[in-house]
């Protein structure tokens, strides 16, 4: 029975610059990185080593990564990092970059639709500051069903983009908000992971639960 929530803190800048193909498609030059250089390769080697270690560790109940950029968006991450996360069945991605709250997920067998682009066309021409595509503000999943991406980037409420209109991205975006500053809390037991988005006025924006088995509901 696993005891630990393993959270790998990644150097996000190096994960978006795996090779020269994406030099002008992301922020590599701005970050002073040469795509695919020795430090980038060393970081990816470290990521693989950690995933190999913890996916075979019976004490690791959950495996998460935390980084700045969103792997569902950046081409460099979609080409190298995401396949690793799928291969090792990482459950949780915690990220930021965008100045909003956002929850998306992806099937482990999902085929990337925008391998060289961050976004696709507008798919929801909305005007709201809060959008959720589910019937309620709560969703439940089981371990192994989805790769979950939690974006937490609005604590300072310095918004330079609106939640709407919604551009298509890889994966499935279910919730997004720029209505108020907010945070996300994450409560983890062996059987259940609960992520709760909370606005600055104390109201709950969205709740995501991941159950280890059906008897936890």
Half-sphere exposure of 70 (CA within 13 A, CB side): 26
pLDDT tens across the length of the chain (217 residues): 779 999 999 999 999 999 877 666 567 877 888 888 899 999 999 999 999 999 999 999 999 999 999 999 999 999 999 999 999 999 999 999 888 899 999 999 999 999 989 999 999 999 999 999 999 999 999 999 999 999 998 776 666 678 899 999 999 999 999 988 899 999 999 999 999 999 999 999 999 999 998 665 5
Question: How far is it, in rounded angstroms, from Cα 143 to Cα 211?
Answer: 6
Domain ranges of the chain: 4-181
Residue 169 Cα distances to 43, 59, 73, 123, 165, angstroms: 26, 35, 7, 9, 12
């Amino acid at each position: 029975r696993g005891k630990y929530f393993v959270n790998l803190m990644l150097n996000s800048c190096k994960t978006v610059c795996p090779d020269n193909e994406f030099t002008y498609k992301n922020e590599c030059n701005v970050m002073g990185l040469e795509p695919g250089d020795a430090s980038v390769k060393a970081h990816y080697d470290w990521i693989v080593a950690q995933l190999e270690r913890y996916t075979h560790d019976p004490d690791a109940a959950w495996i998460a990564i935390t980084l700045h950029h969103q792997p569902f968006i950046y081409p460099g991450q979609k080409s190298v990092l995401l396949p690793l996360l799928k291969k090792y069945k990482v459950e949780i991605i915690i990220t930021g970059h965008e100045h909003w709250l956002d929850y998306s997920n992806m099937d482990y067998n999902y085929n990337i639709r925008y391998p060289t682009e961050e976004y696709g066309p507008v798919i929801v021409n909305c005007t709201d500051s809060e959008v959720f595509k589910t019937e309620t503000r709560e969703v439940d999943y089981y371990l192994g069903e989805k790769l979950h991406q939690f974006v937490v980037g609005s604590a300072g409420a310095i918004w330079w983009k609106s939640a709407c209109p919604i551009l298509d991205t890889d994966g499935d975006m279910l919730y997004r908000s720029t209505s108020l500053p907010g945070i996300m809390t994450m409560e983890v037991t062996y059987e259940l992971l609960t992520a709760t988005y909370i606005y600055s006025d104390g109201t709950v924006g969205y709740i995501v639960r991941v159950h280890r088995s059906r008897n936890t509901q």
